[in-house]
Chain A
Amino acid sequence: MTLVSSWGLLKKTEHNIYPVADRLQRQFLQSEHLGDNRTFLPRGNGRSYGDVCINSGGTLLWTGFLDKFVDFDPQNMTVTVESGVLLRDLQRFLVVKGFMLPVTPGTQEVSVGGAIACDVHCKNHHMYGTFGCNVKSFKLLRTDGELLTCSSSENAGFFKATIGGLGLTGLVVEATLLLKKVAGSWINAENIPFANLNEFFDLSKASENKYEHTVSWIDCITGDGERGIFMRGNNSERRDCELLKGSINFPFTPPFSLVNSLSLRLFNTFYYYAQSLKSRPFWVQYEKFFYPLDHVGNWNRIYGKKGFYQYQCVVPMSAGYDAVSEIQQQIAKANEGSFLGVLKTFGRKKSPGLLSFPVHGVTYALDFPNRGDKTEKLFRNLDSIVRESGGRLYLAKDARQPKELFELGYGDAMNEFIKYADPRISSDLSRRLMGF
């Protein structure tokens, strides 16, 4: 048994780890490999924050060795890879050939299987939808040994359940992904400071038709708690390619969180003014634009031994302004704050995934160091804002939401989803919220 945690480092629990050596292997499905809790859980690079990628007392089917490319078809703009391939490696392979994945999350250190399981989204949701909207097909291995080819026309029920299905429907062994054409590795970006939420919503509305990528960083601690930087950009016509080399690594886990009101105040002020200086359009390499946190390896350690939570909710557009404003007030009242406050609007494009998180509206993501009851009390207040606004929380980041909030947000889809869940797969999250 090995101690394993998720990216949030909130708890370390015992697991059997079974590495899936290649896509032909089936030995791991034998019941002797089941752990104490008699279930499996597929796991990629373990970058989800909460308890979706842990299966305490059970077996993790680790896909790190499923890292082979299967096919690249530039004519039809598709690539087929095994599910353990990291988006970083895939993007770097594609970009020099004039292609990119249309949708990647805020880190490229996730596996293709993980991106499907969490149905991740990007800064361009209003144009390309979620990761799952750009999956053509995949092969799903059920724990009874059956291998299903799934697409919107074949095994469509499994296709919809697996996209955003948190790994609970089986092990994705390989996937065929749709690509988009790009000229080079550059983004034409622009940073616009805004002073309050009204300006943010105006900027979002004005930018979504002209800009593929839009996202905002919000400074929820200094100023009046509403200022921020609106970042927008398009893939540049610049044709050359540059790939970044190396990154720095946060070398140890300090005994306490280095994120506190003093460090946040300093960081947020510095970041706000540094970004405000870049208000004229500029070229930025895609990895710096999309994945700024990847330049610091193991940045999660900065929150100390108790770990941290990421709280990400989505609320419908009509309730967006009030909800975000109220969340800001609650955070200020609790004297908490986050250096990563990300605000973004989701478009109308619907994902095929049954349990997919994004809906047309506003999403707000915040990191909080784990301060026990104090943090949980703040979350309960935020939960009630989300509940009243008709919103829901992102399961890939959740480690603590009450079952009743989950049922309000995902209850209807769960009735359908449960038909496709694999009976020998579970996670800490599924046992906490779904009852299996």
Chain B
Amino acid sequence: MNKVAKKLVLVGATSLIASNCARIWVQNGFNEVVLIGRDRKRLENVGCDLAVRSGRDDFSCSCEVVCDGTDAESVTETIDNICRDAVPDIVLIAQGSSLDMNEELQQNLSRLKSSLLLNGISPVLYAQGFARHMEKKGAGHVVMIGSVAGDRGRSSNYVYGSGKSLLDTYAEGMRHYFALKKCGVMVTVVKPGPTLTPMTADLVGKVKLADVKDVAKCIVRGVDCGKKTVYAPSRWRLIMFVIRNLPSFVFNRLNI
């Protein structure tokens, strides 16, 4: 068994995709896990699950409660706290994911603002916060969960999608920055297709939903290979390639 300490941080740790990825990493030798989320009891349940699955004597798991992930000060404080002893090897940011109906958000600007803050700004705050520490160490991997909805704005979910698309540009910028600095920090954006989670359960039978375990396997494989963008399941790379490249006069006639 690998005895070298490997540290994993999950932001939005109660997310099903995040916790399923963590199960695989923990089995692959990560022995220190920090969980960030809003509800301590739920975080502890996730931690407990990972501890049992790990089965290692040297496994440790801690929980950090951040009530507002869009508040820069509390995010900074939490990140500095976590990085004090050791900078994490992987940070998986699964913050956000509020699938509100577009029509409601168009009519209510304060809800629109919170959706954009939650899905766009908050993950970027965490990514940049951890990247600062990783830069000093010269190594680390920031993984942000985006969405296929971020690839092209569509009538049904462009508020959510545009929040997520911020992660793409930000990640691209970070990769460029670290390449110029010749620093070994890696940045990956994961784009899951529709996945069966408590949030999407009402779509069962209407849309083909991927199993979260398969999505997690796909993400871990992509991240471990150092990919810049991971589509999960991978068929979404092709689907989104087609959708992105549809000419506007065709795209605007389709209700997709």
Contact = CB atoms under 8 A, between A and B. Distances in A.
Given A3-B205, A21-B198, A22-B42, A65 B16 contact: yes
Nearest to B52: A69
Contact of A2 (B14, B16, B52, B204): B204
Contacts of B45: 22-24, 68, 70
A436 interface: no
B52 A71 contact: yes
A18 B199 CA distance: 10
Interface size class of B (residues with CB under 8 A): 10 to 19
Interface string A18-35: 110111100000000000
Interface string A57-88: 00000101100111110000000000000000
A239 interface: no
Contacts of A62: 201
Nearest to A21: B198
Interface string B163-203: 00000000000000000000000000000000011100110
A97 interface: yes
Q: Which of B14, B16, B45, B197 has the most CB of A within 10 A?
A: B45
Interface in A4-28: 17-19, 21-24
A17 B201 contact: yes
A2 B205 CA distance: 6
A93 interface: yes
B99 to A, nearest CB: 14
A257 B1 CA distance: 50
B53 A69 contact: yes
Nearest to B53: A69
Q: Which of A3, A21, A68, A71 has the most CB of B within 10 A?
A: A68
A72 B201 contact: no
B41 interface: yes
Interface string A334-346: 0000000000000
Nearest to A64: B196
B71 interface: no
Given A17-B201, A65-B198, A93 B53 contact: yes
Contacts of A71: 48, 52
Contacts of A3: 205
B55 interface: yes
Contacts of B196: 64
B198 A68 contact: no
Given A3-B205, A24-B41, A19 B49 contact: no
A7 to B, nearest CB: 17
A67 to B, nearest CB: 8
Contacts of B46: 68
A70 B48 contact: yes
Contact of A70 (B49, B198, B202, B204): B49
B214 to A, nearest CB: 13
Contacts of A64: 196
A65 B49 CA distance: 13
Contacts of A69: 48-49, 52-53
Contacts of A72: 52, 55
Contacts of A18: 201
Given A2-B204, A24-B41, A19 B55 contact: no
B198 A19 contact: yes
A64 B42 CA distance: 17
Contacts of B206: 2
A65 B19 CA distance: 11
Nearest to A67: B49
Interface string A78-105: 0000000000000001000100000000
A315 B55 CA distance: 44
B201 A19 contact: yes
B37 to A, nearest CB: 12
Interface of B: 14, 16, 41-42, 45-46, 48-49, 52-53, 55, 196-198, 201-202, 204-206
10 contacts: A2-B205, A22-B45, A24-B42, A24-B45, A62-B201, A65-B198, A68-B46, A69-B49, A93-B53, A97-B55
Given A21-B198, A65-B198, A70-B45, 13 more contacts: A2-B204, A2-B205, A17-B201, A22-B45, A62-B201, A64-B196, A68-B45, A68-B49, A69-B48, A70-B52, A72-B55, A93-B53, A97-B55
Complex A-B, nearest 3 residue pairs according to Cβ-Cβ distance, in ascending order? A68-B49, A69-B52, A21-B198
